[in-house]
Amino acid sequence: MVLTWAKPARSGTKGTTYSMEKDAKIYIAGHRGMVGGAILRHLQTQGYKNLLTRTSKDLDLRNQQAVADFFDKERPAYVFLAAAKVGGILANNTYRGEFLYDNLIIEANIIEAARRYSTTKLMFLGSSCIYPKLAPQPLKESYLLTGPLEETNEPYAIAKIAGIKLCEAYRDQYGCNFISVMPTNLYGKGDNYDLQKSHVLPALIRKFHEAKVKGDKEVVIWGTGTPKREFLYADDLAEACVFLMNEYDGKELVNVGTGEDLSIKELAELVAKVVGFEGALTFDTTKPDGTPRKLMDVSKLHALGWRHQVELPEGIRLSYEDFLQHKDNTVKATGVA
As annotated, the binding site for NADP(+) includes 30-36, 125-128, 160, 183-186, 199
Short-list 50, 55, 37, 166, CA closest to 109 = 166
Question: Please, which residues have CB within 8 angstroms of residue 97's CB and are 6 or more apart in sequence?
Answer: 155
Residue 171 to residue 97: CA distance in whole angstroms: 29
Active site residue 143: no
Binding residues: 30-36, 125-128, 160, 183-186, 199, 207, 222, 229, 289
Distance from chain centroid for Cα 108: 17
The region that residue 127 occupies, defined by phi over 0 for left and psi between -120 and 50 for alpha, beta otherwise, is beta
Query: Annotated catalytic residue: which of 117, 156, 170, 320?
Result: 156
Distance from chain centroid for Cα 117: 25
Short-list 235, 175, 243, 189, CA closest to 39 = 235
Q: Are strands 185-187 and 228-229 parallel, antiparallel or unpaired?
A: unpaired
Short-list 268, 133, 279, 161, CA closest to 204 = 268
Apex CA 241: angle with CA 239 and CA 245, to 5°?
A: 120
The catalytic residue positions are 156
